Structures are given as structure tokens and as C-alpha cells.
Structure 1
């Protein structure tokens, strides 16, 4: 690693905060209809003209705006990912990161104590936090394309019901139902999350909502409703510790039909927990906010075998754009 790469890594917070602020100010949405100069852009976002020019210039430097004849316009990337009107809008995740940015200032203390920097409540305590978090998860996966890719990789032709455990906004459930029209779906999640999921699905996927049951389940304390032909969980096990994950897989085993499939999508790490790189960095966020971390395939497969699963397989998703893997397993017939 040379100086330039190290310096860029160490100062990455500046770029992140600039993008978060530009998005929060509405700069990209204000440029959707036509280019604007700094004066008109400042008026549109109710901000200081000089300061607006500086942040707009920073967005040009980052490749998120163009500047010609002192007028700012969108680039292909900002049109695709930073407009609220885009189906691939990533802003939900960016605004979530902006809201929790302060949490990272506690990393040193968390490293020293091993204790999370905030309540490990999965953002269930305040409605505005719940909605921001769930829309962030929806935003990330839709922008990156995970749900469609996963739905096309799975063979659910002989499954009648698929349940998404901790399914959040239902983004994966909708993709699975779209790919397999015969399926009935269910989202098993906490009450505050289900309220947001119902709102998102009613806004965007009312037809799919008719095929989805929203079921209140706290997988740490409740049995998982069954029987299901397939259980899917994305980014769930990294929130929990080793004991809870082992118990969770036993619950999944009981909920599945004979021959049923369990699909686990997550950062699945190598044996020494250093790759993939995004997973190793994300583990620090998990340390700050959850009881969990990212786990290796050896750990995950051991929990699955102990629960009774067979035919355990690991598939790394193409990187880029993805940063995670799928582990599949079956309950014996």
C-alpha cells in the first residue's frame, strides 16, 4: 500500500460526510429537471451561495455532478443512485449512515470495553428510526440488485411457501414471488418493522402484498411458524452471537417441511475472518450496534450440521457488485 492509498482510506469520512450532506440538502433532486448555477441552486436548497458552490464543486470532483459554464448537472451515477425517483435510489442507506455517523465516534471506547455504543434493539424503539433503518436496507439491496440475483439463483419450483425470517421491507420476498409466481410468501419480523413493511409494500407492490403474510415473530424468543418449504434469511446471523445463532438454526430446522431448504445470505468470512474486506470492516459496525459479528463458513456450517441439516453449500456472489455469499442447506426427507 502506498501513501496515496493509505491517506485516502484515512480521510474517507470527509467524502462520506460530503455526499450525505449533499443528499440531505436535496442538491441532486433539485437538479433533476435542469442544470442550475450556484445562485439558483443555493436558492433552491435554501442555503448560502458560497457554501453551496463549495459542496457542489466537491460533488463534481467526486464524479457525482458535472459543471459546465458554471452550471451544475447530474451525472449518470447520480441520476441512477441519488434521485428519489429512481428505482435504484441508494439514498435510503446514505441517510441512514448519516443518522448513525456519531456512533462511530465511540469506536475506541467500544474496543476497550467490548460493549455496544447504542442499544441493540435493531432500531425498534422509535418509529422514525425503524423506518429509516428498514428503508435503508430496502435502498441498499434494490440499488445493488441482490434480490433479483438471489431469486434467479434459487430453485423454488417445488416449494409452495417461502418465509423471509427478519424480512424487513420485503424486498427479497417480492423478488422471490416475482420469479416464482406459484409461491405464497411470508415475512416474519418484529412489530415496528412490519408496520414499515406494510407501508412500503402498499406503496410499491400492492399486488405482491396480497400474496404475503406479515407475521409477528421475534426469532430470539419465539418458535418460527411452520411448516415452510423454504426459509430465507438475509443479514440476520451477523446481528447475533454464537449461542443464539446455533439456537436459531435449530428453530429453522423445526419449522421446515421434510426436504425443506434454508437459505442464509450474509457476509460469510474466510477462516481467519479477514476476507471479504467489506465484511471485516462491517464487523466494526456490528460491534458498535449489535451482539454479533460476521462469521466464517466453518462456523455457519457447524451450526447447520448440529441442527440436523444436510447438503450444506456455500456460494460466493459475484464481487463486484455484491459483497456477500449464500449458504444453502436442506432438512432431510
Structure 2
């Protein structure tokens, strides 16, 4: 977590410009690397399994590290709010217990791993190319295809971030009593489709995505809904999606394509829906950030989409016009999640 300057530091760094505020970015980068390492070697899980604070020596034995080196790491993590120090050693903070433990429903550890092992290395290779030419030399998904392990890490990361939204999203989606069939296009980890089936016992779902994504999650469908979940591998731009669906999900898909491709995709989805079926789009929307964190988040994902896909963030108005061109009507937007920038758009055929 970035350093939180006190009042005097904010005055000196921001308002008076008497100190180098960019140094905070350096601290933030070091914090990310330190958290990623702590996750990798099991520091947080070791502390979580202890009934009392652990000294650097004891913790080092449990995670196979040097006591002095681990002490420096933990002291730095404490300044960022990930650990607390006591007279007897180190303990987890409530923030780490909520967001970075494997047993937590909101565990963001796989999301850190996804960025540390995949996205930022891809940034290192492609950021300048994307800035100078407008697109990377290959997409990050094409890069994933070169090593199946990358798809596994990616799907675990996608699932982790989806866990923050799944309750809000599934509550916001209109599911009627007569709805029986759903298709989750580009659904990858399948968390949304699985949760909708759990909430609605008459609903069945097909998760449609590229082979690498499907292979990564094929064995992860819970047995409680397994009989109502099927998976289908293919290219949603060209391959058969099936037909007769009551609901179609397109989550975090439209940002990856240009206007013409999205219109064609919406038309393909319309052909796969039953009369009166609904299409639900989830994405980040240009101009929807209302706070500093929200605005920064949107610009961050915009730069990420450019670097990894040669893509961008679209406005709600653009997507609504594409839906109408594809034959959809009654377009409605619903904000979801704890931060601004993310919303559902639901349209009826």
C-alpha cells in the first residue's frame, strides 16, 4: 500500500513542491515487490497459522529465509500497513487478513501474482512499443498461449478480482423465473456464471472462452452446480456460440475490440439469444471515475489495455449505440462494486 503522508509531508510534497513527491511512486513499487515476495514465500500464511506473534528468527525458520533479511522485509511491510510489530514479533493486520490470505473469500493474492509474474513483465517488453506504434507486438493472450501455465495464473488472478464484484454483479442481473439457459462469453474463470446458477436452481450455464482459458478452469467447477455448468472452447468472434439462451454475459470483453468488431459480436450474441433475451455487459467506462482513486484506476486500466491488447476504455454512450445498432433496446446501466468506474449495461433483444 502506498505511503500515506501526514499533513506536513503533504504540504511539503504536494502544495509547496519543496520535496520530491515522485519518490512515493518508488516506495509504492518497492511495496508491490515486497508484498509479492511475501506471498510467494508464505510470510502471511505462516503468521496466520500462528497463535501468537512470531519473531524474525521463528518466522524465518518457517519460510526458509535469513532472519536478518526477513526482518528488513517485515519492517518495510509494516510501514505499508501489511504487518504490525509487537514486543514479541510480527502479526498480521486486519487489511492483510481480509485481502491477502488464502482462506479469505476476498483473497487478492493471486491478483498480485498475476501482475508480478505476467502483466508487468509483459509491460517491460511491450509498453514502449505500444506507446510508439499504438499496439503491442503481440497481445498478452497470444503470449499466454505460448505457455499453458500462464493461463492458469491469469485465470486465478481474474477470479480473485471477480470475487470483489461477484455478489454485487449477480444481485444486479435480472433473472426471471422462466430463465433457464445462460451463456458466459469470454467467461474464463466462470465465477459469475457459477454464482448465478447457485442462486437460481433452474438456471444452467455454458462458459465459452478460448481453449487456454477453458483448459485452466475445466476441473474447477464446484460439484454443487457441476451438472448445470458446461464449458465450450472457441473464438467467440467466429465459432458457434449455441442458441436459445435467455441471458448472455459479456464481461470485460468489449474493451479488447474496436467498434466494428464489437457491433459484429453483439449481432452474433443476438443470434444466440431467444426472443426477449438479455445481454449483460460488464466493463470499465470512460469518464465514470468520480474520485482520485477511481480516475487513476480508469487511466491505469486504459494504459494496461493499450499495452497488453492495443485496446482502450469505451464510454457508456459508445457501447449503447453499438447495442442499438445490433438490434438491442431498453439499455440500462447499473453501477456495481466498491469503487467507481465499473458498471453493468443490460439490454434486451
TM-superposed CA distance for 1:195, in Å, is: 2.0
Tell me whether 1:150 sits opposite 2:166 in the alignment: no
Q: Structure 1 pair 43/137, CA: closer, same or farther in 2 (3 Å)?
A: same
The answer for the alignment partner of 1:136 in structure 2 is: 157
Tell me whether 1:12 sits opposite 2:32 in the alignment: no
TM-superposed CA distance for 1:243, in Å, is: 2.4
**Of 237, 246, 256, which residue of structure 1 is paired with 2:263?**
246
* C-alpha distance in 1 between matches for 2:244 and 2:128: 45
Tell me whether 1:214 sits opposite 2:231 in the alignment: yes
TM-superposed CA distance for 1:91, in Å, is: 0.8
* C-alpha distance in 1 between matches for 2:304 and 2:316: 20
* Structural RMSD (CA): 2.2
- Tell me the SS of whatever aligns to 1:181: coil
TM-superposed CA distance for 1:16, in Å, is: 1.4
Show CA shifts across 1:280-304 (max 9, x none): 2111111111132111112111111
Q: What are structure 1's unaligned runs of at least 5 residues?
A: none
TM-superposed CA distance for 1:251, in Å, is: 0.6
Q: What are structure 2's unaligned runs of at least 5 residues?
A: 1-13
* C-alpha distance in 1 between matches for 2:296 and 2:323: 25
Show CA shifts across 1:68-103 (max 9, x none): 014111112212221222222111111011113223
Show CA shifts across 1:127-159 (max 9, x none): 1001000010111111x1x11211111221231
**Of 18, 29, 38, which residue of structure 2 is paired with 1:22?**
38
Greater CA deviation, 93-102 or 276-285?
Answer: 276-285
Q: Is 1:267–1:276's contact at 8 Å kept on the other side of the alignment?
A: no
The answer for the alignment partner of 2:92 in structure 1 is: 74
Q: Is 1:120–1:291's contact at 8 Å kept on the other side of the alignment?
A: no
* C-alpha distance in 2 between matches for 1:5 and 1:309: 48
Q: Structure 1 pair 318/135, CA: closer, same or farther in 2 (3 Å)?
A: closer
Tell me whether 1:258 sits opposite 2:275 in the alignment: yes
| TM-score normalised by length of structure 1 | 0.90
Q: Is 1:241–1:292's contact at 8 Å kept on the other side of the alignment?
A: yes
Q: Is 1:117–1:288's contact at 8 Å kept on the other side of the alignment?
A: no
**Of 163, 174, 188, which residue of structure 1 is paired with 2:194?**
174
The answer for the alignment partner of 1:65 in structure 2 is: 83
TM-superposed CA distance for 1:118, in Å, is: 4.6
**Of 44, 59, 66, which residue of structure 2 is paired with 1:41?**
59
Greater CA deviation, 236-245 or 165-174?
Answer: 236-245
TM-superposed CA distance for 1:271, in Å, is: 8.7
